[in-house]
Every structure is written in C-alpha cells, then in structure tokens.
Amino acid sequence: MSDDRLVIAPEVVRKMLDEQFPEWKELPLRCVENEGWDNKTLRLGDELKVRLPHAAGYVPQVEKEFKWLPKLAKQLLVAVPEPVALGKPSVDYPWPWSVYRWIEGETVSADTISDMNAFAKDLAGYLHALWAADTTGGPIAGDHNFHRGGDLSVYDEETRFCLAGVTHEIDAKAALTIWERALQSKWTRPAVWVQGDLSTGNILTRNGRLSAVIDFGLCTIGDPACDLVIAWKFFSGENRELFKTMVDIDQPTWHRAMGWTLWKAIRSLYYAKQDNIPEEQQAAKAVIEAVLSDANLAGIKT
C-alpha cells in the first residue's frame, strides 16, 4: 500500500472545502501532529477535522464510518468520532473524504494515564460495550478492513515468510509454535463489533482516564481477537493480567490474539530490518518477547 499512497497538499483540501462547504471558508485549516497512516488528517477551525484516504485501499472506510459511527456512538461508554459531512472527489483528489467533530484529548501513553490498573478496567469495559452493540447489518471482515476480525489464516503465508527472515533476532521456533496454535481455533460465537485497530494512537485520555476511541476505518463484525493485541503492546505485569481478567474471554481467543500480535510484530520486525531502522526493530522485538514470555507463563509449550 505504501507505494500507492498519495501526497495530499493542504491547498487541495482547502480548495475542496471552499467549493463543497462554503460555510466553512473562514475556518483555518492546519495539519495535525499525528495524522495517521490510512488517512491524512487536518484540523478545521477548533471544532472540526478533515480526513482523506491516502490510498485506494482505504477508500471503503469513509462511507462505512459515516454510516456506522452514529449508531455505535449511542451504545458505547466513551466518545467516538462524530461524522459531520461527506466530501466528494474532485479534479485534484480522486476519492470521497469526510469531516468530523474534533475530539479533545491526549493520545494514550504511560505519561497520560494516572492509574494503569484503572485504565485497564476502563478499556475492558469499552470492549464489553462494543461487543454488546447491535450487529444487525454490520460489515463482514474482508478486503475493506484487511481482514481484521476475520480468519487469521489469511496472514499465514506472510507470517511464515517474515519469520524466516528474522530467525537470528528472536526465538523463531517458539513464535511459530504460538502462531500455529493460534491458527487451530476459530470464533464460533455470534459475530461482535470489532474496532480493528485498538492501538495507542487511536485511544485518547482526559484527566488521566480513558475518554475516547477514534479511527474505526477497520471496524467490522466478527472475531474480537485482533482488538486484544494491546495486551502485549501496551500493558505489562499486573495491569496486563488485570486487563485480561476484566476482558474475561475464552482462552482460544487469547491464543488468536497472540497470533494477531505476532503477525504484526514479526512483519514489522522483518521490514524494519530490511530498511535498517533500529528503533522499530527494537519495538517489534519487545512485543514479540512479551508474547513469548506470556505464552510460557500460560503453559503453552514452545
């Protein structure tokens, strides 16, 4: 996808806004620090933001979010993005785009959370509310969301390929054992809502507590395992165990969650190695080691 990503100039966005939504002509448009990967994000005035897909593969997210976020917002415990307007393609930009209400908050980190245990409980509570939301007519996992919430086996070939390229960096044998175990189970309950990318960049805090979850471009209904990756990417020790306890889901789903975590981390490690980016390699290895350690503590033979 990275080769197809468009460079979207703010001037192009300003022109489309002025043509399609002249009522906002006087509002300043400015870039944001963390604009995201799938979409370019700009702030419009103090209360709005504009999001534009960077590549064709992300275009289905636009109308999907516009349709489903208002319905999900009524059923969740924290704020989610509120769609305001749907923009049309122009001669300068080929795809639909959207305008949302701006949500105040700080991106979650160890520095923005006042109590990690309380945050673990809050995030588990958010997941339970999401899983309880009405799924009638919801989108099924597929190409539109890169199969998040779908069958993990879609990434089997890629995972094995990347794993073969990092055998000197990690315990590849143990990782493969955990990966294969993850592939052995399926989600057999009714499909639930899946956010699809419950990562720190998409979680906001205010006053040290969970306040919002943003970016539902990968949302779907299906297997919730991929939304549990944050257990190893952010939590550790006591707060990880508390998060797992509060989530209260079956062990096979945790096995698949380990699989989703390994897929992303092994892939990241492989490409960071190819591109010689030491900090990204170190971050990916830390996540992999967290999964391997947790699997060992859980008695999964590696």
Report which DSSP code applies to 142: S
d(CA 240, CA 246): 10
Strand partners, 87: 97
pLDDT in tens, 112-130: 999 999 999 999 999 999 9
200 contact partners, CB below 8 Å, separation of at least 6: 107, 108, 109, 230, 233, 234
pLDDT in tens, 160-177: 999 999 999 999 999 999
Q: Residue 268 to residues 91, 104, 206, 215, 273: CA-CA distances in angstroms?
A: 36, 30, 30, 21, 8
Residues 79-95: what's their mean pLDDT?
97
Judge whether residue 82 has pLDDT over 70: yes
Judge whether residue 255 has pLDDT over 60: yes
Name the residue with higher pLDDT: 235 or 298: 235
Q: Which own/partner pairs from 37-44 qualify as long-range (CB within 8 Å, at least 24 positions apart)?
A: 38/215, 38/217, 39/215, 39/217, 40/8, 40/13, 42/10, 42/13, 43/102, 44/17, 44/99
d(CA 254, CA 294): 11
The pLDDT of residue 1: 38
Judge whether residue 73 has pLDDT over 50: yes
Confidence of residue 2 (pLDDT cuts 50, 70, 90): very low
> pTM for the full model?
0.93
Q: Does residue 10 sit in helix, strand or coil?
A: helix
Judge whether residue 301 has pLDDT over 70: no
Judge whether residue 296 has pLDDT over 80: no
pLDDT in tens, 32-66: 877 777 899 999 999 999 999 999 999 999 999 99
Q: What percent of the chain has pLDDT over 70?
A: 97
Report which DSSP code applies to 44: E
Judge whether residue 67 has pLDDT over 80: yes
CB of 255 closer than 8 Å to CB of 186: no
The pLDDT of residue 192: 98
d(CA 11, CA 149): 37
Type of residue found at 133: A
Please provide the average confidence, as pLDDT, over all residues in the chain. 95
d(CA 4, CA 164): 27
Residues 288-302: what's their mean pLDDT?
80
Residues 198-211: what's their mean pLDDT?
96
